[in-house]
Amino acid sequence: MKCNIKYIGKSRQGITKYYCTVHKSFAYDKFGNKLEECLWHNKEIFDNRLNIKQNLIKSITIRYDNILENVVPKIIINDSEFNGVLEYDNSILTYKDFGGIMLSKLNNIPLEIVKCNHCGYYHSDNGKFAYTPHRTHLCLYCGRLFRVKEKNVGSELAMIYDIPKISLNNNMLKIDDYCCVEYDMLKGTLLVNNKSINKVLFKEKELDIVNFLNDILENEF
Ligand SMILES: [Zn+2]
Ligand SMILES: [Zn+2]
Ligand SMILES: [Zn+2]
């Protein structure tokens, strides 16, 4: 699918901003020049779409094979790997949105229905925004900022699924250079190297699993 790049206004510093509405990504350089292609790197996933209202979804799992090396998870739907995006109504959801849900749930953040007042599409928060309630949101559909009354965190998936809390066992695991993280969204389970834990020993430091994952995924928005 080709980019659809639009001018969306200027930054506070006066730089012209462009946004690709197909890949939900910016498309300008630091001087404000329009790029030929937007900054989303694995664009092919947008060609493979699964409608989650028309298909029976029994389980949704994301798996980071080694989160220390690669922060792009695999999506597993009903036990088979799915390399694409999920859609329903006007929403298009990528692995980043699933990572966002995992972070919100780990941090016990209530997920709310948030709507952009420019384009009217719903909003999901990922990376550090998934665990930091905020008042000014960046709409990933139109690329513009919008404000809400109270600080919150948005999720489109929480509008259609009842997503449980993540329950963790009181256990610590030593992590060296391999860390597989598997999150079953509809069951609320999180496994680290196949174990349910709440702490890791990483580089000789004892860390809460929540802070450990927050830091690794903070820029995945
Ligand atoms: Zn694009
Ligand atoms: Zn919008
Ligand atoms: Zn937001």
Taking a 5 Å cut-off on Cβ, the residues next to ion ligand 1 are 3, 20, 22-23, 38
Angle between helices 209-217 and 95-106 (to 10 degrees): 150
Q: Please return the burial class of 79, using the count of CB atoms within 10 Å of its CB with bins 0-12, 13-18 and 19+.
A: exposed
What was the pLDDT predicted at 194?
97
For residue 212, the CA-to-ligand 2 centroid distance in Å is 31
Q: What ranges do the domains of the chain cover?
A: 1-47
Task: Please report, as a single letter, which amino acid is at residue 207.
Answer: L
In eight-state DSSP terms, residue 66 is T
Mean pLDDT of successive 10-residue stretches along the chain, which has 221 residues: 93 93 95 96 95 91 98 96 95 96 98 96 97 97 95 95 96 97 97 98 97 97 92
User: What pLDDT does 57 receive?
Assistant: 93
**Which ligand is closest in space to the CA of residue 24?**
1
Q: Which ligand is nearest to the Cα of residue 131, counting in written order?
A: 3
Q: What is the DSSP letter of 4?
A: -
Element (H, E) at 194: none
Q: Starting from the CA of residue 143, give the closest ligand.
A: 2
- pLDDT value, residue 134: 98
Are the CB atoms for 128 and 214 separated by under 8 Å? yes
pLDDT of res. 79 = 92
Can you give the pTM of this predicted structure?
0.93
Nearest ligand, measured from the Cα of 119: 2
What is the whole-number distance in angstroms between the Cα of residue 155 and the centre of ligand 3?
Answer: 9
Using CB atoms within 10 Å of the CB of residue 99, give its burial: 0 to 12 exposed, 13 to 18 middle, 19+ buried. Answer: buried
Which ligand approaches the C-alpha of residue 100 most closely? 3
Residue 122 confidence (pLDDT): 97
Centre of ligand 3 to C-alpha 108, Å, is 16
